[in-house]
Amino acid sequence: SIDRTQIMSLHELNFIDRRENVILLGPAGVGKTHLAISLAVTAAERGKRIYFGTLSDLVLSMADAEKQGRLRERLAVLRNPSLLIVDEIGYLPVTAGGTNLFFQLVNARYEKGSMILTSNKSFKEWGEVFGDTVAASAMLDRLLHHCHIVNIKGNSYRLREYPGLSLPQEQASPRRGRRRSQEVK
């Protein structure tokens, strides 16, 4: 249930030149990451620098850099690509320290570089994801200021072979082996 015209327009990559963001929202398995990667491949083919990571991996890398006294350098690395993709916002809760680090990243890229974010949570739920409604609101304020929102509805492509099977979103894990209680530092 996506607007094909909107997706084709995004693939023209004008949003990158204008330093705008794209947020792909929808339940697990509807193609958010697939679309983000498609935009990244198109951008790479046109010579744009890309960085892709899950929210948990990005936050962990910034936390490690902070422990080593190299956070400023890490933020510079993440600020420089034309396009930064942050995948899987909402799959794992983020600690207060992780929220602070991610806010710094969003703030560092604000109006300086485009971001594509994927999330299975509505914007109202981001306060719960980040454990801080004020920080989530401040992030969303910056992210949504120049933004294209793609809201995808539908059932998981991975579960198409099981018609009638319905899993609560909270129990459907994007990766096997992760515990729901795992937190991003």
Q: Give the tens place of pLDDT for each residue, 157-184.
A: 777 777 777 666 543 333 333 333 344 4
Closest alpha carbon to 84 in 128, 125, 40, 121: 40
What separation in angstroms does the CA of 20 have from each of 65, 67, 83, 97, 169?
27, 31, 10, 26, 29
Measure the N-to-C terminal CA separation of the chain; round to a whole number of Å. Answer: 34
Distance (Å, whole) CA 145 – CA 110: 9
Rounded percentage of the chain residues whose pLDDT exceeds 90: 82
Check whether 99 has a pLDDT greater than 60: yes
Alpha carbon of residue 1 to chain centroid: 20
Check whether 152 has a pLDDT greater than 60: yes
Tokens of 59: 């936050």
Q: If you average pLDDT over each of 1-5, 132-136, 154-158, which comes out highest?
A: 132-136
The confidence score (pLDDT) of residue 159 equals 74
Question: What integer is the mean pLDDT of 2-24?
Answer: 97
Q: Give the tens place of pLDDT for each residue, 38-56.
A: 999 999 999 999 999 999 9
Closest alpha carbon to 103 in 120, 91, 121, 89: 89
Evaluate whether 183 touches 95 at the Cβ level (below 8 Å). yes
Residue where the block lists tokens 């991003």: 184
Question: What integer is the mean pLDDT of 91-95?
Answer: 94
pTM reported for the whole predicted model: 0.87
Rounded percentage of the chain residues whose pLDDT exceeds 70: 89
Amino acid at 51: Y
The chain-wide mean pLDDT, for the chain, equals 90
